[in-house]
Chains A and B, each alone.
Chain A
Amino acid sequence: MAMADEPIVSIRDLYKLYRQGEIDVTALDNVSIDITRGEFVVLMGPSGSGKSTLLHIIAGVDRATRGKVLVQGINVANLTESELADWRNQNVGFVFQSFNLIPVLSAFENVELPLLLTQLNRRQRRQQAQAALELVGLSDRAHHRPDQLSGGQQQRVAIARALVTDPVLIVADEPTGNLDAKSAADVLSLLKGLTEQADKTVLMVTHDPKAASFGTRSLHLEKGEIVAG
């Protein structure tokens, strides 16, 4: 099974420079990593060390200044904006610190939202959204709006939205940052379960060592560089 060992994400010599007036800020400096399918990789490091930047580049919402990003063998840097949008829809699920659900939509509709971009018909969309909500244990909250849900519930809805299109990669930027310990543990077990049972690959940024303990591997960033961890 050579395929299984092929890295899902393969990064080589990645640089990201931000120009702020006259000063250049190096957000990522010569980063190279490989992530294989089913891994739960935790990205740690002090604030401003480039964690979010790296996550955004891998997820195809930001572009590197230099270097190569292969996701499932595709060089993301070569895709046009429009191709990248389609690619994200099919391959990446996002989970954010502040949940970022659409406030006017119900939990169910939020989960269904990415499916509007697929070829699925209405019935198939419903079934798939229903299944994703069940997986995160919130089918009984399907018709609640985000403001009628607790933070932990909102984040579980966000996870359902991230996995509803069945992507290979789920990226999560401090997903437990706004949650109490109990909700955080629920969310982390959910993500871990996805890697173990659904063979998803999760890349998660966190500050919290306790959260990091859920991962299968952790990477440390400091001033844009990967340091031994």
Chain B
Amino acid sequence: MTRLTFIAKNSLRNGRRALLTVSSVAVSCALLVTLLTLQRELTVPPESEAASLRIIARNKVSLAQPLPAKQLATIEKIPGVVAVTPFTFFGGNFRDETVTSFPQFAVDPARFRELLVEGKIIDGDYVEWVKDRTGCLVGADTVKRYGLKIGDRMRFTGTLYPCDLDLRISAVFQGTVDDRGLFFHHKLLDEATGDLGTVGTWYLRVASAEAANDVISRVNAAFANSSAEVRAETERAFQMGFVSMWGNVKILITSISSVVVFTLILVTVSTMSMAIRERFRELAILKALGFQRREIFSFILAESFGLACLGAGIGIGGAWSFWTFIDLQSLTRGFLPYFEVTPRIMATGATIAALLGIIASIAPSIAVGRMSVVDGLKTLD
């Protein structure tokens, strides 16, 4: 027998309690890891190098305010702009759906190719789309999800605009950070709405990431003091601003995570105190046999730490495999496309569990430290 076998035998002496302790730590750790992953998913937009080559210019007042279509001529002439296209969110419901389950944008197909930096056309023909006014370019994820093919019709009920769309798939793209979107001719939208002479936003491509800041200032300056002032920012900055709407959700998730950790501490501390308290007499015997106080502390710590880490291993490992092997993208219809349990998140969970093991051993250690051998021997088994 070694000290380690002694600790192991003690930890597992009450099988049911050990199982319950390990399970509650495991479940809580899995929950915690899931919450942290969700928080990350909601606050970190997909990263893409191309995103820093693209600029979105919107109405300075708000995103919902349109911009005059005639701004195009001015923007085109700004040095550093490689391409520019109107970029208007249509927000229609596909078929009989009651929610906008993937975004549709009205763009200028002739110029949009330049903005689809990372995207590859995997089916159909881009040029066909440019030629076909009712044609659309669809992301591979959406095509796959609805089992669509080139030539299929896609009907949308407008929610933001008082018109419906009837589109035909001309081409399919893949390889962007979000392969769900659908793009169609802005001219079609203009016709359907009676030519409002507005666009939602402008979508610009710059030559290099370094040039982006200059272009942004020039665009902003070009429309300063006009009736429609513009706010331009990189696509990445735009996404960050967009997700800041999730700020409240972030606080909510943080609160829930704290409650989970707190509950876990209560459960572990009380379980550990119970486990040690019912063994007071045995610990008194160990003291009588000559075990030092610090050795008895280390037994308690090792047991508490061991159970917490075992639970954490199962919980975190379980959460990782679950979220890695489950297709959350299709389950949430693309709402949570990645849901990656990162090493950093797992390390956070493991650290919390380790601290938990240490915290849970403090109270019993103090109690055992105070106990005299004689008092300990008097306690009943």
Q: Which residues of A contact B (CB under 8 A)?
A: 56, 59, 61-62, 81-82, 85-90, 94, 96, 98, 100, 102-105, 109, 112-114, 116-117, 122, 125, 161
Contacts and interface: CB of A to CB of B under 8 A. Distances in A.
B6 A105 contact: yes
A94 B288 contact: yes
A116 B291 CA distance: 9
A82 B290 contact: no
A62 B292 contact: no
Interface in B241-292: 281-282, 285-292
B1 A109 contact: yes
B329 interface: no
Contacts of B213: none
Nearest to B1: A109
A109 B8 CA distance: 13
The secondary-structure label for the interface of chain B is: helix
Contact of A117 (B13, B281, B291): B291
A145 to B, nearest CB: 10
Interface stretch (B57-65, B184-192, B370-378): B370-378
Contacts of A114: 289-290
Nearest to A171: B288
B13 A88 contact: no
A62 B285 contact: no
Contact of A105 (B9, B292, B293): B9
A90 B282 CA distance: 20
Nearest to B289: A114
18 contacts: A61-B372, A61-B374, A62-B374, A82-B293, A85-B290, A85-B292, A86-B292, A88-B288, A89-B289, A94-B288, A98-B381, A103-B282, A104-B9, A104-B10, A105-B1, A105-B6, A112-B1, A114-B290
Residue among B285, B286, B293 with the most chain A CB within 10 A? B285
A109 B289 CA distance: 14
A122 B291 CA distance: 18
B293 A86 contact: no
B3 interface: yes
A117 B374 contact: no
B292 A116 contact: no
B332 to A, nearest CB: 48
Given A62-B373, A62-B374, A105-B9, A100 B285 contact: yes
Nearest to A94: B288
Contacts of B372: 61-62
Residue among A59, A86, A88, A122 with the most chain B CB within 10 A? A88
Contact of B288 (A61, A98, A109): A61
Contacts of A61: 287-288, 372-374
Contacts of A161: 289
B97 to A, nearest CB: 61
A104 B12 CA distance: 9
A85 B372 CA distance: 12
A214 to B, nearest CB: 24
Residue among A61, A62, A161 with the most chain B CB within 10 A? A61
